[in-house]
Structure 1
Amino acid sequence: MNNKLRWSRLKLKLILCLIGSFLASAALFLLLQSTGEDLLEHYRTRSSFIDKQEQQALPALEEYVSGQHLSLKDDAQIAEWVRKTKYVNLYLYKDNQFLYSTDGYTIKTENTRFLPDPNIFSKSQYSTVTFADTTAQVYMEYFFEYKYYNLITILGVILSFLFFIVLVLFFINKKTSYIGVLEKEIKILEGGNLDYPITLKGKDELSSLAQSINEMRKSFIERLESEEQARVANSELVTAMSHDLRTPLTALVGYLDIIEYKKYQDQEALAKYIHSSREKAYQIKHLSDKLFEYFTVYNTEENDLEFESYDGIQLMDQLIDEQSMLLENHGFRVAWEPSPVPFRVELHLISFRRVFDNLFSNITKYADTSAAVTIAYRIEDRWLLIDITNVIKKEAHEVHSTGIGLKTCHKIISQHKGEITFTSTGGRYSVHIRLPVNNTLT
């Protein structure tokens, strides 16, 4: 319900625009009205135009009365002349007695409205008009200036309304122009140019829409780049794996052919070929297991992993103890430093064990047994930092590797929102793992 009641920013801007335009138009109307009245008053004092209209009114009445042969009883026709002439009031007197006025008062009315008394006017202020039945005194009130006041008001209203429309159209034009820009830029994106940025203007629903399109464009670019990198990496992996599988597989087929066609000299040679075939078969199995593990990890999304919270020190001690025993069985010395700060960490244990298995498996292949393998972990700024260092043996360059294990480690650690880096300096090889810590225990 809150979403229904909440006004959008664009609607609020439109309402504010209408209110602001109305106030600006009202101010313009008042300014035009005041200026126009001042100019009219100034013109009246300096011009005889209105005086001429007043002077022409009485002759026009006399001409109308004589032309229509009107009597004093023809008040309807007299009122019709006043209505057509406009801005005039007419008072008729006979022997200084009020007879009729065109503003609705007659001698029969009991209204106490003030009526002009001809005795208080000079002869220049009233005139004698001859009717068909008699003569009468006529007093006329003139309001010709109101015609121009009304004209000023009408022009002020028109100009203010046009000003209001211009302001509203200016606001709407800004928004429609921006919509046109967005439409043009979206068509550019549709054409395949994803590097073209979307223009961001203002802070309303249109700018929010543009921001969303921009984020979607960037996400799509990142996805395409990620897919391209994955395609290249998989292509390289397939090429390397095909070479690594072909070599032991070719040797295995050769050994089996020798055994099948009995091309060996004696039983000792046969046993040797069988042993070599078994080693090649295990080598192929190891490579296929690594390949399966790699594709299993890369086809697993982060949301598919069930993370659990663990006591960090207990978990790390257990994992390092397990790997230390394996290293010691291969003749390595292990030196490790636990964290003095208690902490908890959330991770997918099976995946995280796989990282340790791959890392320590590489140590058994490439590390020099004469130098100690050092392991240390600590807490810094709510991050768990793990460092594993060993000395590289001289024969390590002769051992070929596809790098599947390290790629698998990269993927697993990234699924845990962490980082893993590898450094090699002066014959020492180091692995650095960085994982977020849920909370430290005090």
Structure 2
Amino acid sequence: MNKKFLCTKLEIKLILSIIFSFIMACIIFISLETIGESILDSHFSKNYFINNQKNQAISSFSKYVSDNKLKINDHDKITQWVHKEKYVNLYIYKDSQLIYNSDINDSTIYYGKPEENPFMPTGSLYEIKFADTDAKMYMECFFQYKYYYIVSIFDGVIAFLCFIVIMLIFIKRKTTYIEILENELKILEGGNLSHEITISGKDELASLAQGINEMRKSFIEQLDSENKAYLANSELITAMSHDLRTPLTALVGYLDIIEYKKYKTDENLRQYIHNSREKAYQIKYLSDKLFEYFTVFNTNDDNLELEAFDGNELLEQLVGEQIFILEDNGFNFQIDSCNTTFCIEVNLISIRRVFDNIFSNITKYADKMVPIKVKYYIQNQLVTIYIENKINNNLKAVNSTGIGLKTCKKIIERHNGQITVEKQKNIFFVQISLPIKS
């Protein structure tokens, strides 16, 4: 499986931090080298240090020759001393001819007839007594290099430590952020969903924190929705139980009167039967509304089948059906239709249920003396249906559970629309907005 190189921001940051750390380590190394060499150069510019070291080396070699009774041709033992000293080059001359040179390999040392050395130094030769003869030697000393090597090693260690420290700073920042996220997740696990997740940076860890935070918000919204639904259902059940209990109590009372023949006349009997029938229909109406409510609220939105309709024709049909019924009940209308052609996608059965609920409320609560206003128009890719009526103040107080309007709101939301229901003094209006198909 192929994997992209440097496919994440975190990897890129890691590579950049390595490069930055390496560059800083190189700068520190070069700076320390420059400072160290400057100090050593200043110190070694004083001849007494090198002369003292050289005199000590000459004395050491003379003592080595004397103690070991070396002969002028004991090149191997002389070489051992040179290797032990490390920072010297030794040249031995006999009668102005080079006998030994520590710079060249043993195979090239002048055994047999020595050749005259055209580069024989003058004025820097020292007498040396071997067991078999006297000779002169010339010694080159490089003892100061040892200190340069030490300074270079020290500078390298410091630069490497700086590289590690800079890398650890970057890694520590990320591990600290991971620890923060871990602690905040424990807070969320404890049930404190209001705690905000810390979002820092723009890499994958920040994206992870953002995702956790969004998940936290979604979970809160889901809990709020569930709580609201629970409260709404509780209120509904409470209201419905009250609304059902009243006609049921009356119905049971009428049936008991009929069952035990507590009526006085046949006219009373017919009245009790009529009242029982009215209460039975009232119970049926309430149970139908309750069934409609739970059918809408417990149906998955994905199961809603939408069909495309000509908007003007559909609204004229839906409003026309309601007007026909309400005109028979003595209501008047003011219709302001839309002249713009548009298309709309709806579930016809659900939308008809919305109009049935709205105009059913108008039948119950509207004042017949004031015309019902119906208007629909196009604005911002939405078709808006506005329905207004005056409330009949002569009606007796009616306790309503609001099931019909809740059902309408849910249906419109499932169509990606909005519904607004308001009451201003004695005016009641409903405004529905649905998206039109482009």
Q: TM-score range by the shorter chain?
A: over 0.9
Map 1:292-311 onto structure 2 (within 5 A): 292-311=291-310
Map 1:367-406 onto structure 2 (within 5 A): 367-396=366-395, 398-406=397-405
Q: Which residue is 1:77 aligned to?
A: 77
User: 1:373-394 CA distances to partner (integer Å, 9 max, x unpaired)?
Assistant: 1111112222222211011112
CA contact (8 A) 2:6 2:12 kept: no
Q: Which residue is 2:103 aligned to?
A: 103
Structure-2 change in CA distance of 1:5 and 1:55 (3 Å): closer
CA contact (8 A) 1:127 1:139 kept: yes
Aligned length: 434
Higher mean Cα deviation, 22-31 or 408-417?
408-417
The one-letter code of the counterpart of 1:28 is: I
Structure-2 change in CA distance of 1:305 and 1:228 (3 Å): same
Q: 1:363: how far off?
A: 0.8
Higher mean Cα deviation, 129-138 or 281-290?
129-138
Flag structure 1 segments of 5+ consecutive residues without an equivalent. none
Matched, 1:356 2:341: no
Q: Which residue is 2:65 aligned to?
A: 65
> Counterparts of 1:107 and 1:432 in 2: how far apart (Å)?
111
> Counterparts of 1:244 and 1:384 in 2: how far apart (Å)?
36
> Counterparts of 1:398 and 1:70 in 2: how far apart (Å)?
135
> Counterparts of 2:410 and 2:58 in 1: how far apart (Å)?
106
The one-letter code of the counterpart of 2:154 is: L
Flag structure 2 segments of 5+ consecutive residues without an equivalent. none
Structure-2 change in CA distance of 1:109 and 1:44 (3 Å): closer
CA contact (8 A) 1:96 1:118 kept: no
Q: 1:109: how far off?
A: 6.0
Q: Which residue is 1:164 aligned to?
A: 163
Q: Which residue is 2:180 aligned to?
A: 181
Structure-2 change in CA distance of 1:46 and 1:236 (3 Å): same
CA contact (8 A) 1:332 1:369 kept: yes
User: 1:178-213 CA distances to partner (integer Å, 9 max, x unpaired)?
Assistant: 111111111111112111111111111111111111
> Counterparts of 1:174 and 1:397 in 2: how far apart (Å)?
72
Structure-2 change in CA distance of 1:150 and 1:279 (3 Å): same
CA contact (8 A) 1:100 1:106 kept: no
CA contact (8 A) 1:99 1:107 kept: no
CA contact (8 A) 1:336 1:376 kept: yes
The one-letter code of the counterpart of 1:418 is: G
CA contact (8 A) 1:338 1:378 kept: yes
> Counterparts of 2:89 and 2:360 in 1: how far apart (Å)?
116
Query: Helix, strand or coil for the counterpart of 1:394?
Result: coil
Map 1:141-152 onto structure 2 (within 5 A): 141-152=140-151
Identity of aligned residues (%): 52
Q: Which residue is 2:131 aligned to?
A: 132
Q: 1:21: how far off?
A: 0.7
Query: Helix, strand or coil for the counterpart of 1:48?
Result: helix
> Counterparts of 2:187 and 2:268 in 1: how far apart (Å)?
71
Q: TM-score, normalised by structure 2?
A: 0.93
Q: Which residue is 2:32 aligned to?
A: 32
> Counterparts of 2:80 and 2:307 in 1: how far apart (Å)?
99
The one-letter code of the counterpart of 1:189 is: L
CA contact (8 A) 2:101 2:109 kept: no
The one-letter code of the counterpart of 1:132 is: A
> Counterparts of 1:105 and 1:333 in 2: how far apart (Å)?
126
CA contact (8 A) 1:96 1:119 kept: no
Q: 1:329: how far off?
A: 2.4
Matched, 1:262 2:261: yes
Q: TM-score, normalised by structure 1?
A: 0.92
Query: Helix, strand or coil for the counterpart of 2:192?
Result: coil
Q: 1:128: how far off?
A: 2.2
> Counterparts of 2:222 and 2:116 in 1: how far apart (Å)?
95
Higher mean Cα deviation, 128-137 or 212-221?
128-137
User: 1:54-95 CA distances to partner (integer Å, 9 max, x unpaired)?
Assistant: 221111111111112222232222222111211111122221
User: 1:340-367 CA distances to partner (integer Å, 9 max, x unpaired)?
Assistant: 3323333333222221111111111111
Q: Which residue is 1:342 aligned to?
A: 341
Query: Helix, strand or coil for the counterpart of 2:104?
Result: coil
Q: 1:285: how far off?
A: 0.8
> Counterparts of 1:325 and 1:410 in 2: how far apart (Å)?
25
User: 1:93-133 CA distances to partner (integer Å, 9 max, x unpaired)?
Assistant: 221222222222458469xxxx994765232x221211222
Q: 1:36: how far off?
A: 1.5
Q: Which residue is 2:418 aligned to?
A: 419
Q: Which residue is 1:14 aligned to?
A: 14
The one-letter code of the counterpart of 2:338 is: S
CA contact (8 A) 2:100 2:109 kept: no
Structure-2 change in CA distance of 1:70 and 1:109 (3 Å): closer
The one-letter code of the counterpart of 2:382 is: W
CA contact (8 A) 1:98 1:107 kept: no
Matched, 1:93 2:93: yes
The one-letter code of the counterpart of 2:407 is: T
Q: 1:304: how far off?
A: 2.9
CA contact (8 A) 2:344 2:437 kept: yes
The one-letter code of the counterpart of 1:256 is: L
Structure-2 change in CA distance of 1:100 and 1:297 (3 Å): same
CA contact (8 A) 2:197 2:212 kept: yes
CA contact (8 A) 1:33 1:156 kept: yes
Q: Which residue is 1:320 aligned to?
A: 319
Higher mean Cα deviation, 198-207 or 410-419?
410-419
Higher mean Cα deviation, 204-213 or 335-344?
335-344
Query: Helix, strand or coil for the counterpart of 1:395?
Result: coil
Higher mean Cα deviation, 87-96 or 297-306?
297-306
> Counterparts of 1:336 and 1:240 in 2: how far apart (Å)?
35
Structure-2 change in CA distance of 1:133 and 1:307 (3 Å): farther
Structure-2 change in CA distance of 1:205 and 1:97 (3 Å): same
Q: 1:29: how far off?
A: 1.2
Q: Which residue is 1:122 aligned to?
A: 122
Q: 1:171: how far off?
A: 0.5
Structure-2 change in CA distance of 1:286 and 1:53 (3 Å): same
CA contact (8 A) 2:308 2:345 kept: yes
Matched, 1:290 2:289: yes
The one-letter code of the counterpart of 1:162 is: L
CA contact (8 A) 1:335 1:375 kept: yes
Q: 1:4: how far off?
A: 5.2
